[in-house]
Structure 1
Amino acid sequence: MEDEKEKPIFPRFDFTAGEVLLIDKPYKWTSFDVVGKIRNALKPLKLKVGHAGTLDPLATGLLIVCTGKRTKTIDELQAQEKEYIGTFTLGATTPSYDLETIPDSFFDITNLTEQDLLRASLTFVGAIEQYPPVHSAVKMQGERLYEKARRGESVELKPRRVTIYEFELTRIALPEVNFRVVCSKGTYIRSLAHDFGKAVGAGAYLSELRRTRSGNFHVRDAWNVLELSDHIRSLKEQGLLINDEGEHS
């Protein structure tokens, strides 16, 4: 699921005044890994760097990173609707609802039809309640749920209300189903995969995920994080960055 894109060209940045950087997060990188890479490229400038909307390590796609004074807009950016494309694999479930853990239950899907799947998808459009995965970064009593899950502790999850604006199945080739979804902040696509499996009377887990859009920002306009890091260092060497005092570095 590759996106055709033209790499943005910026002659220089003003990171202190604030930049909104669009990054195409690589597979198996954490969102914090991306922030750390940008922060290291900016040294010795001491600037705030943060991201607007976490992506799981196994997901790829658009990650918005803010620097300097633009970090104050992170909450606003996080609140925007998101678009994802990806793949559900039917016929099994995993504890994490994705490929972070191995399948632990299996189901017969030989009688599932395309109409069964399409009908089920319609039931998820609109305001719904979903439970976050046990293997998630949601905090409970000051600790991430995945930390409790890794210790084998049971936790009582609370549902959260989210909105699915669009949900379409773009390819059906069982056991795989490709999809596109537009949703509100806080939606767990892993939970959507798990719940979709329940709705069709079989298991399902998320086997691929890519964030393509957040608000008006699109992944086709995003940087490769390594290329951006090198670009920042190059600008720094040329004295085209602006330091904390508003002067060129």
Structure 2
Amino acid sequence: MSEVAEERIKKQAEPVPDPGEVILIDKPVTWTSFDVANKLKRACKFSKIGHAGTLDPLATGLLILCTGKKTKEIDTYQAQEKTYTGTLVLGKTTPSVDLETEFDGTYPVDHIPGTDRIEKAAIALTGELDQKPPVYSAVRMGGERLYKKARRGEEVEVKTRKVTVRSFETDTADFPEVHFKIVCSKGTYIRSLVRDFGELLDSGAYLKALRRTRIGDFDVKDAWELETFIRQKREVLGLANE
């Protein structure tokens, strides 16, 4: 066999590099971002996969996942501006600032604060902020996630970080529920904004619902339902659906 033929056979035997793809998923409630990535990796036989920005388990909405060589672009997507919609409730607090933990405080809300006061609170939380992440968060401290320390009842000193909130719109038609739309930078914790919003109104607050609708130019309306994507991807790969 000639050297040319041997070289051709050798190249044909080499694995073809995975160019990767960018996948938009509408994350289901109660799933962690890691749950979604792991489910896709197993079901769709991806050799490498990662997500571009964590969503809390009780949140829904746009989750960007990258596979193969596209995982090199994750930092680019994570750095882009994000839009969230949701509902906060004044008058009660929880340690996690959402419904993951039980209520631990109650405040009187027998009247609606003046519209101007609510608007001032939202304005105060707009622009560049020194924000303190929630204790129940995925921020690492001493090599461990903060939420693990919080669940053990450990007291931790959380450092502030610079974030930017470009807009904070509110709707009090269903008071004490306050519907909102927030446009913000990477690293912004909506639960922290909810906590601080309640404090500015001399009332506790917790996050009832949260949905991420946009990351940069990507919109949740273009995202796949998780099971639908898996089913169609497995069909393309010639795999039996589970």
State the TM-score, normalizing by the size of structure 2.
0.89
In structure 1, distance between residues paired with 2:104 and 2:171:
27
Identify unmatched segments of 5+ residues in structure 1.
1-13, 239-249
CA contact (8 A) 1:166 1:181 kept: yes
Counterpart for residue 198 of structure 1: 199
Q: How many pairs does the alignment contain?
A: 223
One-letter amino acid of the counterpart of residue 59, structure 1: A
Tell me the residue number matched to 1:68.
68
State the secondary structure of the residue aligned to 2:135: coil
Work out whether 1:53 is the aligned partner of 2:53: yes
Q: Percent sequence identity over matched residues? A: 55
SS at match of 2:133: coil
The 8 Å contact of residues 114 and 172 in structure 1, kept in 2 or not, is answered as no
Report the CA distance between 1:114 and its aligned residue.
2.6
Mapped to 1, the partners of 2:127 and 2:148 lie a distance apart of 32
When structure 1 is superposed on structure 2, of 116-125 and 135-144 the one drifting more is: 116-125
- Separation in 1, partners of 2:171, 2:114: 15
Q: Residue 156 of structure 1: CA displacement?
A: 0.8
TM-score (norm 1): 0.87
Partner in structure 2 of residue 182 of structure 1: 183
Q: Distance in 1 between matches of 2:34 and 2:159?
A: 26
- What residue identity is the alignment partner of 2:223? A
RMSD: 1.5
Mapped partners of 1:66, 1:78: distance in 2: 11
Output aligned runs, 1:1-249, within 5 Å. 16-43=18-45, 47-111=47-111, 112-237=113-238
CA distance in 1, matches of 2:148, 2:87: 26
Structure 2 gap segments, 5+ residues each: 1-15
Q: Which residue of 2 aligns with 1:241?
A: none
SS where residue 62 of structure 2 aligns?
strand
Q: Is contact 1:15–1:67 with CA below 8 Å preserved after alignment?
A: no
Alignment-mate amino acid for residue 115 of structure 1: D
How many Å apart are 1:173 and its aligned residue? 1.6
Deviation (angstroms), 1:202: 0.7
The equivalent residue for 1:5 is none
* Aligned-partner Cα distance in 2 for 1:170–1:217: 25
Q: In the TM superposition, what is the alpha-carbon distance from 1:33 to its structure 2 partner?
A: 1.0
| Segment of structure 1 superposing worse, 77-86 or 116-125 | 116-125
Instruction: Provide the C-alpha distance between the structure 2 equivalents of 1:18 and 1:172, rounded to a whole number of angstroms.
Output: 45
